[in-house]
Amino acid sequence: MQRFVVGSDHGGIDVKGAVIATLERRGAQVVDAGTNGPASVDYPDFAVKVAGMVSRGEADQGVLVCGTGIGMSMAANKFPGVRAALVTDEFMARMSREHNNANILVLGGRVVDVPTAEKLVTAWLDATFEGGRHQSRLDKITALERELGLVKQ
């Protein structure tokens, strides 16, 4: 069973709920990392929870939602081994998995509506990493993380 962690700030509450429902319908185990209300919160706090769990292997994949998705993706991609992809259409969702093996999907709650978010999550989940030349590119990213001291040699 796939283990997911999902988090949002106040700008992504509605989309986060739809994402969790979509994942659960597909049989995934889901951890809700918050937030759970409309009060203003800081998106980095939730990016840290989700990206940290994915980086440490406590979750297989994650989904983050903030108003635009930009801040969440910036914060999440600071974590070693995290490949967070901000997507706005189904093509980007598929490519983020097929070519980049994204392990965190990032959405903008003020950019995409709930039905679109459900389609994006489905496209992302249905895509499969192609490997091959794409793996060698990811290997370069991993090598860069090592060179920068973000992961152990």
The residues assigned a catalytic role are 66, 99
Question: Residue 76's closest CA among 99, 43, 30?
Answer: 43
CA count, 13 A, side-chain hemisphere, 135:
5
Q: What one-character-per-residue DSSP string does 8-69 give?
A: E-GGGHHHHHHHHHHHHHTT-EEEE----SSS---HHHHHHHHHHHHHTTSSSEEEEEESSS
Cis before 35 (ω within 30): yes
The two tokens of residue 92 are: 């980007």
**Are 103 and 93 within 8 A, CB to CB?**
no
Neighbours of 106 (CB within 10 A): 28
